[in-house]
């Protein structure tokens, strides 16, 4: 039997049975967890920055490393967070993402676009589109 790498070279489709990019979630879309450590990490080679990551113990007992999306956060040890799949391409070993604005994890402040990703509710008086019945009469 060929290995997956050999099968890829041969252009033959071998089914990857039992394969999952997020095995810690156990076929669930999100899992609740508790933060055990919040730290920073430097990315792989062409990139240069300090990316925020969090070590999380999930409710199913598995420990994972997840990235903290967005700018500025209030997240410390023992906070409850919601984890979903989604890796950081330039951080090796980080295959999960925390969801902002759920449980004890703060949303991004002053976010106007892509608010649902960062857990921000609509600001007062802000609407990209105004419903027809509320438009001003000219």
In tens, the pLDDT along 19-48 reads 889 999 999 999 999 999 999 999 999 999
DSSP 65-81: EEE--SS-----TT-EE
User: What is the domain-level CATH number for residue 47?
Assistant: 2.40.50.140
Q: Tell whether 138 is covered by a domain.
A: no
Within a domain: 35: yes
The β-bridge relationship of strands 51-58 and 96-98 is: unpaired
In a domain, 131, yes or no: no
Number of domains in the chain: 1
Pairwise pLDDT comparison (51 vs 116), residue with the higher score: 51
pLDDT at 105 over 70: yes
Model confidence at 136, pLDDT cuts 50, 70, 90, reads: low
Do the domain assignments include residue 135?
no
Confidence label for 130 from pLDDT (cuts 50, 70 and 90): low
Q: What residue numbers bound the domain in which 79 lies?
A: 28-104
The alpha-helical segments, DSSP class H, found in 21-117 are none
Which residues, including other chains, have CB under 8 Å from residue 86's CB and lie 6 or more apart? 95, 96, 97
């Amino acid at each position: 039997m060929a290995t997956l790498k050999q099968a890829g070279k041969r252009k033959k489709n071998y089914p990857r049975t039992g394969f999952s990019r997020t095995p810690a979630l156990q076929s669930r879309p999100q899992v609740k967890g508790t933060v055990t450590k919040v730290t920073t990490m430097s990315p792989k080679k062409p990139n240069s920055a300090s990316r925020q990551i969090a070590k999380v113990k999930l409710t199913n007992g598995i420990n994972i490393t997840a990235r903290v999306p967005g700018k500025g956060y209030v997240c410390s040890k023992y906070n409850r967070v919601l984890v979903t799949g989604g890796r950081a391409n330039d951080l090796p070993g980080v295959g999960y993402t925390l969801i902002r604005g759920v449980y004890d994890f703060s949303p991004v402040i002053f976010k106007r676009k892509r608010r649902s990703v960062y857990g921000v509710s609509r600001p007062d008086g802000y609407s990209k589109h105004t419903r027809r019945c509320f438009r001003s009469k000219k």
